[in-house]
Amino acid sequence: MIKKLARLARYIGEFKKSTMITPLLMVGEVALEISIPYLMASIIDDGVEKSDIRHIVLTGILMIVMALFSLLFGAAAALTASKASAGFAKNLRFAIFSKVQNFSFANTDKFATSGLVTRMTTDVNNVQMAFQMLIRICVRAPLMLIMALFMAFRINSQLSLMYIGAILFLGPVLLIIAKKAFPRFDYVFHKYDKLNESVQENLTGVRVVKSFVREEHETKKFHKASDFIYKGFVNAEKVVVMNGPFMNLTMNTCMILICWIGAHIIVGTNGTEMSTGDLTSFLSYTVNVLMNLMMISMVFVMMTISKSSAERIMEVLDEELDITDPVSPVTEVKNGEIIFDDVCFSYSKNKDNLNLEHINLNIPSGSTVGIIGGTGSGKTSLVQLIPRLYDVTSGKISVGGVDVRDYSIKSLRDSVSMVLQKNVLFSGTIKENLRWGNSDATDEEMIEACKSAQAHDFIMSFPDGYDTLIDRGGTNVSGGQKQRLCIARALLKKPRVLILDDSTSAVDTATDAKIRDAFAKYIPDVTKIIIAQRISSVASADMIIVLDEGKINGVGTHEKLLENNAIYREVYESQIKGADFDE
């Protein structure tokens, strides 16, 4: 665990000062606290037995002062440790979130959303707790243990040998507990992902759950996941809980033996080898030694729990980015010409299991291209390669005469605007959502983009117009309205290439036609790629691509494909008759 934390130490950042001060404060606290039993022995031997009230008072005052300063050092250490650990956790969460933001789709596919949420919450909290213990208790406990042992050996070296026996007994016990507990905690924390996944699915699909009256089913599913974690923790804690009995057994045995042997020494030697004050002081150091052994065992347990969390965090931070900027990136996309040169693609990066095979296309800048194909034919896969949401497995894609892998990712994606299949709006006003496309867009530019997307009229029908608040996920607008807002947002980027991935499916055919007419009028120089299920949405395109099982089955205009492409003709005839596309 310490190695894991050492690798994570670079995220301490601006909290290094608090991290370094905490151990120093702990040294001060321990030094003062360890001196108090020594002064207590002096009060008994030199004050009580000699009836020296002045010595008792002065030594008592000194003990109070030392206790107060020890308390002050301890409180200050607690404050700086809390600040350092909270700051460390903040930086760690930011690092994980930033890393995820730079993930390609391929990187994101490796981690479940629920798993990433668990890593940024539960796992970071565990590591934060371990870090706080490391800079505070891991300094205090060993230091107190060493100093208490030193003082105890000064009082009576023979009697102190039983500490060695206690340590030799507890050491192997703690190692066995940690070895057995770690895999159990590791297993439980992985199951947290299932719990979060259950919550996420339920909240995301709450309307479906209610419409199908499946609340009881979802409650049972959550209870099952929660119960599984409960049983897992109980199973892990069964091992950890053995730490307490062994510690108590050791502590009580040591106290009994010290009292018994110490009393014999005092009586047998008439106080020459060991005085009553020495025995009192020795018992205090015994409590210190054994209590700090217990604290070390608690830290050991916490480190065991946190080891799994640290490993899960490092999985994200160590994930090698699938898509990165080249050394000397091109930052300007000159035009919207797109060329696919023998492109093959596989989500699994397996050349024997390709999702797209030998795609060769030449799309002139400013043209309108339609893509038709059945479910699973590779339409979305094809267009996602253009802005490098995924990288090709083999072959090359050029935009504006330059390989997409030679552009900076920001420049390329700013020039290739894509409206995804799943339309997403964020909580905030319509205006704030539109400005995701261009944060510097003026009101006039927003209105123009919304008019092109046929969104302006329904926006103005709302009482607050462009200042209308959108609920989380866009639940207070219809599917068609959401699609048009997403198209307007994409237009605000003023791209070289505009990709609509089945983005007018919820729009009626008349509105769909108006959107296409507006594109031809207002953005004639932008290359427009339209994935559609309806033939009417692409019939007027300059070029229509027919995909079938990841391969190009035909390329041409509407009239040409009707003449010589069987799949396109069948689709057209089926839609004329009102049948489903996939049939």
| 386-437 per-position pLDDT tens digit | 999 899 999 999 999 999 999 999 999 989 998 887 778 888 899 999 998 8
Task: Give yes or no for a contact between 563 and 532, defined as CB atoms under 8 angstroms apart.
Answer: no
For residues 387 and 531, membership in a common domain is answered with: yes
> Taking the complete model, does pTM exceed 0.95, yes or no?
no
Is residue 415 included in any domain, yes or no?
Answer: yes
The two three-digit tokens of residue 352, written as one number: 């024997």
- Structural domains counted in the chain: 2
CA distance 506 to 579: 17
Of 17, 299, 307, 305, nearest to 140 (Cα)?
299
Both 383 and 289 in one domain: the answer is no
Spatial distance between the Cα atoms of 555 and 543, rounded to a whole number of angstroms: 7
CA dist., res. 191 & res. 123, Å (int) = 12
Angle between helices 276-317 and 161-204 (to 10 degrees): 30
Indicate whether 583 belongs to any domain: no
Q: Rounded distance, CA 474 to CA 493, Å?
A: 21
Residue with tokens 């117009």: 465
**Which of residues 282, 317, 352 is at a domain's end?**
317
Distance CA 358, CA 354 (A): 10
What are phi and psi for residue 428, nearest 5 degrees? 145, -175
Cβ contacts of 534 within 8 Å, gap of 6 or more = 509, 512, 575
Asked if 89 contacts 122 with a C-beta cutoff of 8 angstroms, the reply is: no
In a domain, 325, yes or no: no
Give 199-220 pLDDT, tens digit per residue: 777 777 777 777 778 888 888 8
- CATH number, domain at 91? 1.20.1560.10
Q: Does residue 333 belong to any structural domain of this protein?
A: no
d(CA 410, CA 336): 16
Residues 184 and 295 in one domain: yes
In a domain, 15, yes or no: yes
Question: Residue 331 domain-assigned?
Answer: no
Same domain, yes or no: 385 and 266 = no
**Count of CB atoms situated within 10 Å of the CB of 6:** 9
For residues 376 and 265, state if they share a domain. Answer: no
Same domain, 297 and 425: no
Q: Looking at the structure, do residues 289 and 376 belong to the same domain, yes or no?
A: no
Mean pLDDT by 10 residues, the chain (583 residues): 69 90 90 82 74 82 90 92 92 92 83 82 88 86 83 79 79 78 74 73 74 81 82 81 80 82 80 75 78 75 77 88 88 92 90 90 93 89 92 93 92 89 84 88 90 91 90 80 90 91 82 87 90 88 92 92 90 70 44
Strands 527-531 and 497-501, sheet pairing: parallel
Regarding whether 290 and 342 lie in a shared domain, the answer is: no
Range of the domain at 389: 338-576
User: 405 and 305 in one domain?
Assistant: no
C-beta separation of 422 from 204 below 8 A: no
Q: How far apart are CA 401 and CA 334, in angstroms?
A: 8
Same domain, 411 and 533: yes
